[in-house]
Structure 1
Amino acid sequence: MKKILITFAAATIMVSACHTGYQVASVERQRILVDARYDVHPDKKAVGFLAPYKQTVDSVMGPVVGRSSHYMTAQRPEGDLSNLLADILVWAGESYGEQPVFAVYNMGGVRAALPKGEVTYGDVLDVAPFENKIAFATLSGADVLQLFREIARVGGEGLSHSVRLVISRKGELLDATINGEPIDPAKDYRITTIDYLLGGTDNMTAFKKCRNINSPQNAENNSRFVIMNYFREQTRLGREVDAKIEGRVTVKD
């Protein structure tokens, strides 16, 4: 039996060859850390090869859309970036003729932190790289409570300023208010989120019960462009974008 070594960037596979084909005999791996050490002595040929592509990418990703007052991250039970993104969805409602009472932005949809200082197109693309569109919909109060129980179960999601949840360390919903008022199970609530969640994804099955959905599917309604519009508006008003943790989701024993 003949043995063949197949080596990838970070793994070596020992393959046994026989008359009937190939079989994996063993797998070994190693971790290759790619960090700033490779910037000290860059490969000149590689730099030259990438130069024309870098120029094109920089021209697209480099334009500044606004400024951030500080470094922001999305985290559970609450983060300044996840708060900001939910608030931006509510802010955008006016452009769509909507008045949502609250927003949800899922943690899984936030893929990077936001830097302090200048924020570029590329920075926003890193934060929101998917083709998710802004969406408005109606949920009954009973379904809103189900949604908040599902959010409590995973320890929190991005929620807008009007929402206050108290959850237990075991993931139970202990209390929930919107604009300081208890949720009425018989009342309808207009909400905003991203269309990806309307299918009940990310463990938020209550979204499947949404009615009267308004979610334009043109490219400009992508969440990243909504975020950029907010940054540009704040720049026009002479403001840096700011957000803080303010007790939207509180964990109690």
Structure 2
Amino acid sequence: EGGRIPVDSTWDAEPDAEAMALLAPYKKQIDSVMCRVVGTAEMSMDRFRPESLLSNLIADVLREAAAEVQGTPADMGLINIGGIRNSLTEGAVTIENVFEILPFENSLCLLTMKGSDMKQLFENIAVRGGEGVSGIQMEITKSGKLLRALIGGKPVDDERTYTVATVDYLADGNDGMTALMQAGKRVCPKGATLRGLFAKYVERHTAAGKKITSRMEGRVTIKE
């Protein structure tokens, strides 16, 4: 065949160029969406256990988002550290950053829980060595035992009902959050993706002239 390029490889090479030409206008569109700046982060934030700046922020976003469903924020916000896949760096926040941080198709779920089930939930979180929480304070041991928990600064009342704003993935009992399956009521508003809620939160703060910030507050502490 005297060094001729095999027919297959030339055939393979052609559609790629064609496909690229076809996709070019869409890529341009996607790039412009992904590069859109939605706000500014005051500081770099990472995610880790037992408590971190970024997991605190995202749990706050979930807890506040409940107000659109029930008129007031939830008693507790909860996000799994494993669902946060990247850190947020200081400076401009783009839609691409939001996708990198929250790549999963997770959506808001608002659960109504009895106090006794909330205690079980805190035990689930203790076993994991902490998760992203808002509205509560917990003390746990290194070995994953729950020592103490407060909701809104008060001890848990077994007979009272509380609301937990989390994502559907956890509401289904994944990542060891089996207590969430005891919820008496479950509302998962259509189209309320965590990614969308987070982007909206950033945009709302930007419109009010604020940068995105977070604090370490001893939400989950490990006692020896």
Question: Aligned residue for 1:3?
Answer: none
Correspondence 1:36-51 to 2 at 5 A: none
For the 8 Å contact 2:98–2:199, the answer to whether it is kept is yes
- Alpha-carbon distance in 2 for matches of 1:204, 1:235: 34
For the 8 Å contact 2:34–2:96, the answer to whether it is kept is yes
Question: Aligned residue for 1:58?
Answer: 31
Deviation at 1:211, TM superposition (A): 2.1
Extract structure 1 runs of 4+ deviating beyond 4 A. Answer: none
One of 56, 59, 74 as aligned partner of 2:47? 74
Question: Aligned residue for 1:128?
Answer: 102
Cα-Cα RMSD:
1.7
TM-score under structure 1 normalisation?
Answer: 0.76
Correspondence 1:185-204 to 2 at 5 A: 185-204=158-177
TM-score under structure 2 normalisation?
Answer: 0.86
For the 8 Å contact 2:77–2:164, the answer to whether it is kept is yes
Instruction: Kindly indicate whether residue 209 of structure 2 is the aligned counterpart of residue 238 of structure 1.
Output: yes
One of 194, 200, 214 as aligned partner of 1:223? 194
Question: Aligned residue for 1:206?
Answer: 179
- Alpha-carbon distance in 2 for matches of 1:238, 1:91: 19
Instruction: Kindly indicate whether residue 218 of structure 2 is the aligned counterpart of residue 247 of structure 1.
Output: yes
Structure number with higher strand proportion? 1
Alignment: residue pair count: 203
Instruction: Kindly indicate whether residue 151 of structure 2 is the aligned counterpart of residue 178 of structure 1.
Output: yes
- Which secondary structure state, in structure 1, belongs to the residue aligned with residue 189 of structure 2? coil
Q: Deviations over 1:151-180 (max 9, x none)?
A: 0111000001x2110001111000000111
- Alpha-carbon distance in 2 for matches of 1:98, 1:196: 24
Instruction: Kindly indicate whether residue 142 of structure 2 is the aligned counterpart of residue 143 of structure 1.
Output: no
For the 8 Å contact 2:109–2:186, the answer to whether it is kept is yes
Deviation at 1:217, TM superposition (A): 2.7
For the 8 Å contact 2:113–2:185, the answer to whether it is kept is no
- Which secondary structure state, in structure 1, belongs to the residue aligned with residue 85 of structure 2? coil
- Alpha-carbon distance in 2 for matches of 1:171, 1:222: 30
For the 8 Å contact 2:111–2:185, the answer to whether it is kept is yes
- Alpha-carbon distance in 1 for matches of 2:27, 2:189: 33
Deviation at 1:56, TM superposition (A): 4.0
Instruction: Kindly indicate whether residue 80 of structure 2 is the aligned counterpart of residue 95 of structure 1.
Output: no
- Alpha-carbon distance in 2 for matches of 1:94, 1:185: 24
For the 8 Å contact 2:109–2:188, the answer to whether it is kept is yes
Report which of the two structures shows the higher radius of gyration computed on alpha carbons. 1
Deviation at 1:97, TM superposition (A): 2.8
For the 8 Å contact 2:106–2:169, the answer to whether it is kept is yes
Q: Deviations over 1:199-224 (max 9, x none)?
A: 10001100111122111232xx1100
- Alpha-carbon distance in 2 for matches of 1:197, 1:98: 23
One of 78, 82, 89 as aligned partner of 1:115? 89
Letter in 2 for 1:113: S
- Alpha-carbon distance in 1 for matches of 2:157, 2:167: 24
Deviation at 1:98, TM superposition (A): 4.1
